Structures are given as C-alpha cells and as structure tokens.
Amino acid sequence: MKSIFAFFALLFFTLAFSQKKTSKFSVSYHKNIETYFLAEILSAEHRTSNKDFELFKIKECSAYQPIVKQALSKYGHLKNSKIALLTAKINDTLLQKYGIGNDAMMKPLLYHKEFPLKGWNQEYAFESNVLTQSQNKEVTFLIKNYIAELERFFDQEKVGDFFKENSDFYKGGMAEYERQIPADFTFAMEKFYGESFNKYVVLISPMMMCPIDDNEGRGIGTDVENKSGNKSIYEIASPFMRVQKPGQFGYDNQFQARFLTIHEFGHSFVNKEVYKYKDQLGKFKDLFEKSNLKEVMTKKSGIADYQTCVVEHLVRLGEIQTAKIQHDDERARKLEDYHLKNYFIFLPQLEEKIKEYNIHRAQYKTFGDFVPELIKVFENSNITFINTELDSIQKTK
C-alpha cells in the first residue's frame, strides 16, 4: 500500500512540476522599464505638453503608490538632472512631432539588455505604419540615444540599489498579480486565435503612474523577437488598487488583472492583422469621423482614429471569446457589459459574426484569416446606427 501511495505521490509531483515547467506565462518586473518611469517622474516639471497632468500624477500617485513615494524621497533632488531634461524632451518630441506616446518606449527598453548589463540583445528599429520610412528612422535614432543616457543614469545614481532595497515589495506585487490570473488562459487564447507565442509575460510596474479611479489602471502591450525568430509578448501593468496598508501591493483586483492581461496580450494577435487592411477601411474611416463616434471614443477611451477603433473592438472580442472557451460565462458577461458601457457599440454584431469563424475553423485556420469578414461589420454600418447606439448608451448613464 505504501509503495502504491508513493507511486501516485511521485506521479502527482511529476505532473505538477511538468505543468509548471512548460507554462508559458509568468509575472516579473524589468529594471529598464522601472528606470524609465523613474526618469519620467523626475521630468514632469520640464514637460511642454501635458505638464499639468504629469504634475497631478505625481501628487496623486505618490499618496498610494509606495514605490513612487520612495523614488521621490531618494531621487527627487535630481529633477533638474540631465536625464530629467532628456526624458521631458524625448516625450514632448515624440508626442508633438510624431504623435507617439510613451508606450512606444516599452519595446526598445525590452530589446536592450536589462540594466546593469550594457548594449542591446539584438538590433532594434522603430516601426509604425502611420509614419514614413524616414520618420521611423528618426524615431529609432532618438530612442537609441535616449536609452544610452538612461543606462548611464542607472549606473551613476546606483538605481540598482533602489530595486534591492525594495525587492520585497516587488516580489509581493508579482505574487499578488499572479493570484488573480485564470489558469491556462494562454492556451485558450491560442485556441481562439489559432497561433501562439513563445512566452507571455506580465511585468508589474509599481513605478508607472496612473491615477486610480474605480480600480482601473493602465496596461501597455508589446512584443519582442529573439535572434531565433521566436516572439514573446508582454504586458506592462501599472497598479490598479490603492495601497493603503502593509501587505497590499496594488494588484489585488481579479477582474481588472484578467481584463488588462488578456487585453494587452490580445493586441499582439490582433494589431498586425488589422494593419494589413488599413487601406480597405476607407468607408469606416468616413463613418468614424462624420458620426459622433470619434468624439465620444476620444473623450472616453482616447481612441482618436478609425484603425485603432477597429483594433480595440477586436481585442475586446478576443477577451470575451477567451472567457467563453474557459467556460467562464460570468467573466464573459461582465466584459460584454463593461465594454458596451464604454461605447464599443459593434461588439454585439462582432460576437454574432465570430460564430462563423468558430464553426468553420477548417476554413479559417487563424483569426487573421477571418479578419476580412469582421471588417465588414464596420464597413457595412451607417451614421444613423452609430449615433443611435451612442445615444442609447448615454441615456443609461
């Protein structure tokens, strides 16, 4: 009897170890990302765009984000330093000249070796389908020069010591976030989209400032390709809960953690597919700009162009389908309600349309194969429908 028990115990341990070993999902943090957001804090007073909001973020977030408060205490005297001035300059330049936000900094920071290591893991070049080839080269030059200075700042100010001093908080934040995530969700996403990535990594960022309202935070999605051509995808996550006592780390909200993670990972599946059809969305571009949709979505979600509107709808569609594949109907319903209240008015039609994809997977091997059909939902709409749906949602608020 003892030998049988021992056999099953060993089998259970082996299976558990195997599952853990082969899991593609992990939660961590990255010194390059955190050092960048530290530099952003120091740069606030030198911004020429969004200065008032940047200063408001510092005042607001330092009250309930311990890492921001600790950073101000240790490095606040450097607000007029070279890195503070350079960080303000690159953010203002990217935003004002190229229309690019700080989310564009995440990919190159991950392509660079993690500080204190020097140099790049491999060659990096900025790419955007809304900029010219010449502009993409200009942005690449700006970013590379900036990260070289950020690396020097890390060394000179011994920023690595700061992370050692606060290692317990970072470990606590990573564990808190990981507790919120449903098991095997990456397999559900791969099943729906029909493709996979090498790794799925959440990088918590207690240094990223995002004023917390209704337990909502900010997630930034990006991907990195290694020298072998394998691509891993990342979500950089700000806190979305106010830290009010010891033992809290800012990530103890299941709905928000699951929403942000699956949403940001979803962008790596969706964006590249929608961008292929930019020129075929001409009719929807006209509808987006002539109806009330652009005004409403810009104000509510910061979505100011038709291509992003399509992308964000399809990413949310993927969140709902992932929940359904996991037989989590409650999560699916919450997501449907949440997104519809935020004016994603095409979701009901997209959910009806996606049934064709789910039924005919022999024909549509990947989500990308079916995107042209989903685009028809937007192209075949009209101004009357759009404005009526928006008015209906507004009346319920």
Q: What is the pLDDT of residues 267-290, one digit of tens each?
A: 999 999 999 998 889 899 999 999
Q: What is the pLDDT of residues 218-271, one digit of tens each?
A: 999 999 998 888 999 999 999 999 999 999 999 999 999 999 999 999 999 999
Kindly report the number of other CB atoms within 10 A of residue 332's CB atom.
19
Asked if 44 and 78 touch (Cβ cutoff 8 Å), the reply is no
Give the model's pLDDT for residue 19: 34
E strand spans, 228-346: 231-237
Measured CA to CA, the distance from residue 106 to residue 177 in angstroms comes to 20
Given pLDDT bands bounded at 50, 70 and 90, which one contains residue 336? very high
Given pLDDT bands bounded at 50, 70 and 90, which one contains residue 350? very high
Query: Which two tokens mark 352?
Result: 């009806």
Most confident of the following: 39-48, 269-278, 299-308: 39-48
Query: Which two tokens mark 313?
Result: 């709808």
Q: What is the pLDDT of residues 143-190, one digit of tens each?
A: 999 999 999 999 999 999 999 999 999 999 999 999 999 889 999 999
Strands across the sheet with 200-204, in order?
Answer: 25-28, 200-204, 231-237, 219-225
Phi then psi dihedrals of residue 220, to 5 deg: -125, 125
Give the model's pLDDT for residue 3: 44
Task: Indicate if the pLDDT at residue 14 is higher than 70.
Answer: no
Task: Indicate if the pLDDT at residue 17 is higher than 50.
Answer: no
Asked which of 10-19, 83-92, 97-106, 357-366 is least confident by mean pLDDT, the reply is 10-19
The residue among 35 and 130 whose pLDDT is bigger is 35
Give the model's pLDDT for residue 15: 37
Query: Per-residue DSSP letters for 70-84?
Result: HHHHHHGGGTTSHHH
Residues in contact with 63: Cβ distance below 8 Å, sequence separation at least 6, in sequence order? 69
Give the model's pLDDT for residue 16: 38
Task: Indicate if the pLDDT at residue 12 is higher than 50.
Answer: no
Give the model's pLDDT for residue 130: 83
Given pLDDT bands bounded at 50, 70 and 90, which one contains residue 52? very high
pLDDT above 70 as % of the chain: 94
The residue among 44 and 215 whose pLDDT is bigger is 44
Residues in contact with 139: Cβ distance below 8 Å, sequence separation at least 6, in sequence order? 94, 98, 100, 104, 126, 128, 131
Give the model's pLDDT for residue 22: 54
Given pLDDT bands bounded at 50, 70 and 90, which one contains residue 397? low
Give the CA distances from residue 57 to residues 65, 141, 208, 239, 356, in Å, rounded to whole numbers and listed in that order. 11, 29, 10, 13, 45
